[in-house]
Amino acid sequence: MNKLYPFRRYANNPILSSDDVPYPCNTVFNAAACKFKNEYLLLLRIEGLEGYSHLTLARSTDGYRFAVDPQPWVLPSDDPYYEIYERFGVEDPRITRIEDTHYIAYTAYGPFGPRVGIGATRDFTAFERISLATETNNKDAVLFPEKIKGDYVMIDRPDGVGAIWITYSRDLIHWGRARVVLTPEPGWGPSKLGICTPPLKTDRGWLVFYHGVRLTASGRLYRIGAMLLDLNDPSKIVGRVPHFIFGPEEPYERTGDVPNVVFPCGIIKEPDESLKLYYGAADTCIAVAEAAIGDILKLFT
């Protein structure tokens, strides 16, 4: 293991491609992840042949070999309140468990652009929409796994300079007191930033992975960074790794519908303090990489 880059790719990556989906589709990528009743679940973003995305569950007993459900789970809504904002698809989910409920933050995409939707499930059978939590031109949202000072806490990326923001709510519907957390700067992610996976609580702070985008002569390059947020005031950064810790290297990450992309939406913490990071590769397939939390925390100075 390279100490600067602690994640190790699974030898049999990619773990899912369109060939594994039991109905016609273009690609599968950017999956949320969790454990539920001793089963690994991925909530897949699947792009249909018409070019719009929906969400489908995949299941595994070992976290590597997944069987995709025969039907989509979350399709764009036909409810008049949601329909116009989800008309062009539902995308890039992130799952956060708070008490006995799994909340799903996702990107609703419609003719006015992207905005953040929040839904919930207790059994991964019924899915209930709770809110459209932001206005348009906002995406890359995750919820913290517990309330902080009585508030639900969400990180997102409003339209503007491609910065990471934090916002608070008492009911998951009305959000406010927004503050910027991290903005792009010259270096490995100067174009735009966005949160990847739900925060993980450690004794040193909330461990958060985020993507940074760099514009190159051949297009955008997506790589992954890490930072620590204060446990009691997560608007404050208490540690940040100065270099990216994961980036596209393998052919399945370099070549696809959108080349040179690693884009995690799902993470699972195992009992041995290791992490499984599930990521979309080149917007074409899904892969997994693993690291020990301790090895990641050693990167912070």
Q: How far is CA 72 from CA 47, 58, 243, in A?
A: 11, 10, 38
Q: Is the dihedral of CA 152, 155, 158, 164 positive or negative?
A: positive
Beta bridge partners of 287: 279
| 8-state DSSP, 74 | B
CB atoms < 10 A from the CB of 160, how many? 12
Alpha-carbon span 54 to 76, nearest angstrom: 7
> For residue 3, what pLDDT is reported?
64
DSSP classification of residue 160:
S
**pLDDT digit string (tens) for 29-44?**
999 999 999 999 999 9
| Lateral strand order in the sheet of 138-143 | 138-143, 152-158, 164-169, 175-182
In a 10 Å sphere around its CB, with 0-12 CB exposed, 13-18 middle and 19+ buried, how is residue 294 labelled?
exposed
| Number of Cβ within a 10 Å radius of residue 274 | 15
Contact 222, 213 (CB under 8 A): yes
Domains detected in the chain: 12-297 (2.115.10.20)
Q: What angle do CA 114, 120, 124 make, to 5 degrees?
A: 115
What is the pLDDT, as a whole number, of residue 160? 83
Tell me the sheet residues that pair with 43: 32, 57
Q: 3-class SS at 226? A: strand
Contacts (Cβ under 8 Å, ≥6 apart) of 97: 34, 103, 145
pLDDT of residue 159: 87
For the record, the structure tokens of 39 come out as 């089963």
- How far apart (Å, rounded) are the C-alpha atoms in residues 103 and 248? 29
Contacts with 123 (C-beta within 8 Å, 6 or more apart), sequence order = none
- Residues whose CB is less than 8 angstroms from the CB of residue 147 and which lie 6 or more positions away in sequence, other chains included: 98, 153
Separation CA 97–CA 171 (nearest Å): 16
**Separation CA 118–CA 177 (nearest Å):** 18
pTM of the model: 0.97
Q: Going residue by residue through the chain, which has 301 residues, state the pLDDT in tens, using 9 for 90 and above.
A: 566 789 999 999 999 999 999 999 999 999 999 999 999 999 999 999 999 999 999 999 999 999 999 999 999 999 999 999 999 999 999 999 999 999 999 999 999 999 999 999 999 999 999 999 999 999 999 999 999 999 999 999 998 889 999 999 999 999 999 999 999 999 999 999 999 999 999 999 999 999 999 999 989 999 999 999 999 999 999 999 999 999 999 999 999 999 999 999 999 999 999 999 999 999 999 999 999 999 999 999 7
| Distance, CA of 245 to CA of 51 (rounded, Å) | 31
Q: Identify the burial level of 95 via C-beta atoms within 10 angstroms of its C-beta, where 0-12 means exposed, 13-18 middle and 19 or more buried.
A: buried
Task: For Cα atoms 195, 222, 225, give the angle at the middle one, nearest 5 degrees.
Answer: 50
C-beta separation of 177 from 167 below 8 A: yes
